[in-house]
């Protein structure tokens, strides 16, 4: 850890099946603080033998959201509403530009991928607030967010 430096104190990482903010890097162990305030001590041998994801390494991150709407909705209108929501959020970066596109024609809904870029420090606030804004705006615009449904057909056996 000390030689390759895949992370530093203060970075939020995931490795060896654990995630947290790096508090200390020693010769034999790395100490993390989990999001629910638990101290995690990981042997460096485990970290070096597994993938390490450093969420703090870059200044920018992409927020990946999936938004489902009814097949009855006007997709151009939905895209327009989603774009307006992103345009109103000052923490969303203009460059790279956000992506809004039809991701999937699902079983119960049309799924949009909504992918704005933000500063890494704003990631979670934007993640939660944009989802709430989407729900509220869809309610105001009468856009339906469907829930999974299954039709059951009963046949009388004679």
Segment 30-41, tens digit of pLDDT: 999 999 999 999
CA distance 81 to 47: 43
pLDDT score for 2:
56
| Residue 157 CA neighbour count, 13 Å, CB half | 0
Taking only the tens place, the pLDDT of each residue in 92-134 is: 999 999 999 999 999 899 999 999 999 999 999 999 999 999 9
Q: What's the order of all strands across the beta sheet hosting 110-115?
A: 65-69, 110-115, 99-105
| Bridging pattern class, strands 52-54 and 117-119 | unpaired
**Domain made up of 12-54: CATH architecture:** Roll (2.30)
Domain with CATH 3.30.70.100 in the chain: 60-141
CATH 2.30.30.60 residue ranges of the chain are 12-54
**Domain 60-141's class?**
alpha beta
Q: Is the Cβ–Cβ distance between 61 and 123 less than 8 Å?
A: yes
Over residues 32-57, the mean pLDDT reads 94
Q: Are 109 and 71 in contact (CB under 8 A)?
A: yes
- Residue 97: the pLDDT is 97
């Amino acid at each position: 850890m000390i030689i390759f430096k895949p992370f530093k104190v203060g970075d939020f990482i995931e490795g060896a099946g654990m995630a947290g903010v790096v508090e200390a890097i020693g010769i034999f162990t790395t100490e993390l603080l989990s999001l629910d305030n638990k101290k995690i001590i990981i042997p460096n041998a485990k970290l070096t033998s597994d993938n390490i994801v450093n969420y703090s390494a870059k200044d920018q991150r992409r927020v990946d959201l999936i938004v489902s709407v009814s097949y009855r909705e006007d997709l151009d209108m939905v895209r327009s509403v989603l774009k307006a929501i992103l345009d109103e959020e000052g923490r969303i970066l203009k460059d790279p530009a956000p992506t809004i596109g039809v991701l999937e024609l699902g079983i119960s809904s049309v799924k949009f991928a909504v992918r704005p870029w933000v500063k890494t420090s704003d990631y979670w606030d934007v993640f939660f607030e944009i989802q709430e804004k989407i729900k509220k705006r869809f309610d105001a615009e009468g856009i339906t967010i469907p829930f999974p449904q299954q039709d059951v057909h009963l046949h009388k056996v004679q």
